[in-house]
Structure 1
Amino acid sequence: MLKQIICLVGLLALGCHQNYEEGAHPDPIPPPQAQLPANHSPTEASQGNKPAGEVVVSGTLSIEGSLLARLPKTATLYIIGRPAPVGPPLAIKRIPLPTFPYSYALTQADAGMMPGQEVDMNGLDALYISVKIDQDGMVGPAQPGDMEGAYASNPVAPGSLNVDIVIDKVY
């Protein structure tokens, strides 16, 4: 049985070697492109109708006094905009731990974190704004010591100002 396995492996190796061609290979055939109008600008789809830096939501972040002393120096602040109370975010702003109070602005440039996900946040009916302080700086489920807060009057309309949030929950 062992001889048969060795023989089979040898034949496979020999067969693979015979089909390999040294040298340059032609480039792969590109995928077909959709037929676009002649006056189409490639940046129109990626920018939506608004400039990339336009403020969608802004306000001030503060942290409950008793939690301030528990902030590790390595923590990272995430400002998150979602179309619903739970689920994947449409926009995320990642900031090395700032000093509080912290004035923030979530902009169109913070939207569409995944390639091919172009979202005009100003075209949405509402956004749920929350913040998270992650101790290890890695995105993921909350771990002991992580903190968060959410806007008390969620959802907000795009263009809202003074969306002030108090970070008041610790895991």
Structure 2
Amino acid sequence: GKRYFACKDGYGLFVPMDKLSGSLSNSTRSSSAARIDQDQEQQMNFAEMQRIFEDVTMQKELALMEVEKLKEETKELNVKVKTLEEELAAAKAAIPNEPEPYENGDIDDLDAVAQLKSLKNKNEKLRRALMEVNELVKTMDAERSDLVNENDA
């Protein structure tokens, strides 16, 4: 565990830390070099700690901004969910419970059957979209609580 010190006269000396009080001429030079060394190291440590602190602070701000963005997106998604739920209810209401039996190839009946099919398809699509949005909301809520927990940590 020897440390290297640069001395005023430009020569490098290896001075074991425990033998700093060796020959007098060397020891005065070496101990002042050791002091300078220590000061520089402390300044570097302080600068490093400050940099880390600033870095962490910035990350926290970014995380908080991310949380705000997620809150906004969640609000928007909740509005979408409401809209989809209303559309789904309307689609369900539009489907007659008992489809008219289609008789003797009447054009009107064929039209009604086609409309019924398209309503059922639309209903199914809406139901799927609603499920997807609900999944998305769950995922975002989980992400948000993770972020909030990281911030509190």
Query: Shared topology, TM-score over 0.5?
Result: no
Greater share of helix: 2
Greater Cα radius of gyration, structure 1 or 2: 2
Greater share of strand: 1
Greater RCO (CA < 8 Å, at least 6 residues apart): 1
What TM-score, normalized to structure 1? 0.20
